[in-house]
Amino acid sequence: MLPWLLLTYLVGAVPFGLVIATLYGGDQDIRGVGSGNIGATNVLRVYGWRLALPTLVLDIAKGFVPTLGALLIWPGRGLWWPALVAAVAFLGHCYSVYLEFRGGKGVATGAGAMLAIAPVPITLAAVIWASLLALTGRSSVASLLAAIGLVGISAWWSPEIIPVVGLLAVGIVVTHLSNIRRLMAGEERQVVRSVRWGRKNDDVASVVEQGPGGRAPSPLWKEPMP
């Protein structure tokens, strides 16, 4: 079991965002642009979904595969064993040996690990994350509130996993402390445009005055030409 933990850490520590951005992105080091993070969020901010989507999938996989393997290979170990593997994968992403023990926020990797342990609660939490990302445009807000939502969903669906989910939520809060400070200072930048990006004016009167498609309506009466 110890070699499995070591392998989990080494796989979890692979900075897929940095690797993909270096191989298929521009000349910029992902650690020196945007937020400086190696995760899918910063890859999205700098290079768009073309590189962010494979980064997201691989970051999820490096949490999901080791945790699922722990469940399948050692089925009678109880919840503590897959939870330990999930924690190691999360720590590997956040404190990578390949990057002098620096790394990402761990949201995707933690979600992947929880997908193996509690697929229904994490799926519902993912819906919350996607909805909040679309509404606010800020991944940090979506991640923090989705983590809180995951705790509530787990308490309703599978109370026995609350200790595991609680530790994950605390870990996500810790890795987002700098984001929380920027949010409090009003300096947190959007990753994607929120769903209201097309509105130039937010007041009700201006919206009512607009015609279909947001254009100003044409007048019903025109003065005759002289």
Residue 61: HSE in the Cβ half-sphere, 13 Å Cα cutoff? 10
Distance CA 151, CA 149 (A): 5
In angstroms, the CA 178 to CA 188 distance is: 10
One-letter amino acid of 160: E
On whether the CB atoms of residues 156 and 97 are closer than 8 A, the answer is no
Cα–Cα distance for residue pair 59/12, rounded to 1 Å: 8
* pLDDT tens digits for range 87-120: 999 999 999 999 989 888 999 999 999 999 999 9
Distance CA 190, CA 192 (A): 6
Which residues, in sequence order, are bridge partners of residue 102?
96
Please, which pLDDT band fits residue 196 given cuts at 50, 70 and 90? Answer: low
User: What pLDDT is attached to residue 207?
Assistant: 38
- pTM, full prediction: 0.80
SS3 46: helix
User: What mean pLDDT value characterizes the chain?
Assistant: 84
Band (127; pLDDT cuts 50, 70, 90): very high
Q: How do residues 36-60 score in pLDDT, each as one tens digit? A: 788 888 898 888 889 999 999 999 9
Q: What is the pLDDT of residues 199-211, one digit of tens each?
A: 444 444 443 444 4
All residues at 6 or more sequence positions from 161 whose CB lies less than 8 Å from its CB, including other chains: 79, 117, 118, 121, 154
**C-alpha closest to that of 94 among 191, 172, 2:** 172
> In this predicted model, what pLDDT tens digit does every residue of 53-89 receive, in sequence order?
999 999 999 999 999 999 999 988 888 999 999 999 9
Of 18-22, 23-27, 30-34, 44-48, highest mean pLDDT: 18-22
